[in-house]
């Protein structure tokens, strides 16, 4: 499996008249930012280009859709090129998979490690902090007519996927590209406000409600909270909106392990586990029938929420004892 060059991919896009872009479902800043920047560049070259979606755009990303997104599968019949953006298999856009297959040529641009080279042309680099960084370079190959809006989209892609330049995937290049975007007159703070000051009230209420259940164990080395279906009803939030809680718990001074236990069904709980510096949650998740990475892992426990919380607490307690 070998990458095509971005030059080759730019040539295929230049030769096309119609291009459909396929970011993954559950859109994030990198997927939509990458697709939006590429879509605008292609339109400025006179192409008939659209981003085809199958689900909603999250509220905090909508500022990037300046008429690029469509849910109309017939917007382009038999597109010259279909591009899969920030994902590496049609399972990430299941409802659109058949449409993807109608293209004369397919292209994959991604930075996920698991990505198969399943398209006619592929550029996959797991070292890249964001697909937006690859798009930035592709647009250079395309000799795109850069503007502020494209800069905003690339910045949104990079800043969200690097955790605002704090995650360990952040590269020197992430900063160098962002520095270049300054020359386009991007209002970076405006993008940040769109991305981060757009939190649903229901999510805030759910966070508050679940933080009330916080239990500290192992002399402060572990922290557990839980989320129940009742809390979702009370606050109007969805279970997705409990995302970020495990990270918040881990940010407490002294805490090395954090866990969020989420009641999905009366006898089914999903658990998110995080480790800070010293611990390994993949091992804890494995013991509970799950798996994951050293610092972030998870599992499903088929038991009532209180039983699940107890099971997690016991495993965390053992792991904490092993820390010393």
Question: Does residue 148 bind its own copies (CB under 8 A)?
Answer: no
Residues touching its own copies, count (CB under 8 A): 45
The C-alpha angle with vertex 59 and arms to 73 and 157, in degrees rounded to 5, equals: 80
What does the block give as tokens for 295?
């610092």
Scanning the structure block, which residue is given the tokens 């659109």?
Answer: 96
Burial of 233 (0-12, 13-18, 19+ CB in 10 A): exposed
Kindly tell me which of 2 and 172 has the beta carbon lying closer to its own copies: 172
- Tell the smallest beta-carbon distance from residue 197 to its own copies (Å): 4
Nearest to 155 by CA among 129, 178, 131: 178
How many other CB atoms are there within 10 angstroms of residue 144's CB atom?
A: 20
Shortest reach from residue 208's CB to its own copies, in Å: 5
Write down the least CB distance from residue 170 to its own copies, Å. Answer: 6
Query: Pattern 270-299, binding to its own copies, x per CB under 8 A?
Result: ------xx----------------------
**Euclidean distance between CA atoms 18 and 48, whole angstroms:** 5
> Which member of 14, 114, 208, 294 binds its own copies (CB under 8 A)?
208
The binding track of 38-67 with respect to its own copies, each residue x by CB under 8 A or -, is: ---------------------xx-------
171 in helix, strand or coil?
coil
Per DSSP, what are the bridge partners of residue 268?
Answer: 265
State how far Cα 253 lies from the chain centre: 27
Q: Which residues contact 256 (CB under 8 A, 6 or more apart)?
A: 221, 222, 275, 276, 277, 278, 279, 320, 323
Smaller CB separation from its own copies, 3 or 247:
247
Q: Per CB under 8 A, which of residues 150..189 are in contact with its own copies?
A: 159, 163-168, 170-173, 175-176, 178-179, 182-183, 187-189
Give contact residues for its own copies (rule: CB under 8 A).
59-60, 159, 163-168, 170-173, 175-176, 178-179, 182-183, 187-189, 192-193, 196-201, 204, 208, 211-212, 214, 216, 220, 248, 250-254, 276-277
């Amino acid at each position: 499996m070998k990458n095509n060059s971005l030059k080759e991919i730019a040539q295929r896009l230049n030769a096309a008249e119609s291009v459909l872009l396929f970011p993954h479902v559950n859109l994030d800043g990198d997927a939509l930012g990458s697709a939006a920047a590429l879509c605008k560049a292609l339109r400025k070259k006179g192409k008939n280009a659209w981003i085809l979606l199958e689900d909603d755009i999250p509220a905090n990303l909508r500022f990037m859709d300046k008429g690029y997104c469509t849910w109309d599968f017939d917007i382009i019949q038999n597109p010259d090129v279909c591009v899969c953006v920030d994902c590496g298999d049609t399972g990430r856009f299941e409802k659109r998979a058949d449409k993807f297959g109608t293209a004369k040529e397919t292209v994959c641009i991604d930075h996920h490690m698991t990505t198969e080279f399943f398209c006619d042309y592929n550029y996959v680099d797991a070292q890249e902090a964001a697909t937006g960084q690859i798009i930035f370079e592709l647009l250079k190959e395309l000799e795109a007519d850069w503007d502020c809006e494209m800069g905003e989209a690339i910045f949104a892609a990079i800043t969200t996927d690097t955790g605002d330049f704090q995650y360990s995937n952040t590269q020197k290049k992430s900063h160098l590209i962002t520095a270049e975007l300054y020359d386009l007159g991007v209002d970076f703070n405006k993008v940040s406000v769109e991305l981060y000051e757009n939190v649903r009230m229901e999510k805030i209420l759910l966070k508050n409600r679940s933080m009330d259940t916080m239990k500290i164990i192992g002399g402060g080395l572990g922290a557990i909270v839980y989320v129940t279906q009742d809390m979702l009803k009370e606050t109007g939030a969805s279970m997705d909106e409990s995302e970020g809680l495990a990270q918040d718990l881990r940010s407490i001074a002294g805490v090395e392990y954090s866990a969020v236990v989420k009641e999905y069904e009366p006898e089914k709980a999903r658990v998110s586990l995080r480790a800070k510096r010293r611990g390994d949650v993949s091992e804890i998740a494995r013991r509970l029938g799950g798996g994951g990475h050293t610092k972030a892992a998870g599992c499903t426990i088929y038991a009532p929420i209180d039983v699940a919380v107890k099971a997690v607490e016991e495993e965390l307690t053992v792991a904490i004892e092993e820390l010393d």
